[in-house]
Chain A
Amino acid sequence: GESVGLHLPTLSVQEGDNSIINCAYSNSASDYFIWYKQESGKGPQFIIDIRSNMDKRQGQRVTVLLNKTVKHLSLQIAATQPGDSAVYFCAEKDRGSTLGRLYFGRGTQLTVWP
Chain B
Amino acid sequence: DVKVTQSSRYLVKRTGEKVFLECVQDMDHENMFWYRQDPGLGLRLIYFSYDVKMKEKGDIPEGYSVSREKKERFSLILESASTNQTSMYLCASSLSLVAGGYEQYFGPGTRLTVT
Do A and B interact with each other, yes or no?
yes
Binding site for B on A (CB under 8 A): 9, 32, 34, 36, 41-46, 49, 89, 93, 97-102, 104-107
Contacts of A42 in B (CB 8 A): 108-109
B interface residues, Cβ below 8 angstroms from A = 4, 31, 33, 35, 40-43, 45, 48, 50, 56, 58, 90, 92, 94-97, 101-109
Q: Which of B42, B45, B97 contacts A97 (CB 8 A)?
A: B97
| Interface residues of A, dominant DSSP | loop
Complex A-B, nearest 10 residue pairs according to Cβ-Cβ distance, in ascending order? A43-B106, A106-B42, A104-B43, A44-B106, A43-B108, A100-B97, A99-B50, A104-B42, A32-B102, A43-B109
CB neighbours of A44 from chain B (8 A): 43, 90, 106
B98 → chain A, closest Cβ, in Å?
9
Taking a contact as CB atoms under 8 Å apart, the answer to whether B109 and A101 are in contact is: no
Kindly count the residue-residue contacts between A and B in the assembled complex, taking CB atoms under 8 Å apart.
Answer: 57
**Least CB separation from B6: chain A residue:** A43
Q: Which residues of B contact A107 (CB under 8 A)?
A: 42
By a CB distance below 8 angstroms, the chain B residues around A100 are 31, 50, 94-97, 101-102, 104
B97 contacts A98, CB within 8 Å?
yes
**Contact B97–A45 (Cβ < 8 Å):** no
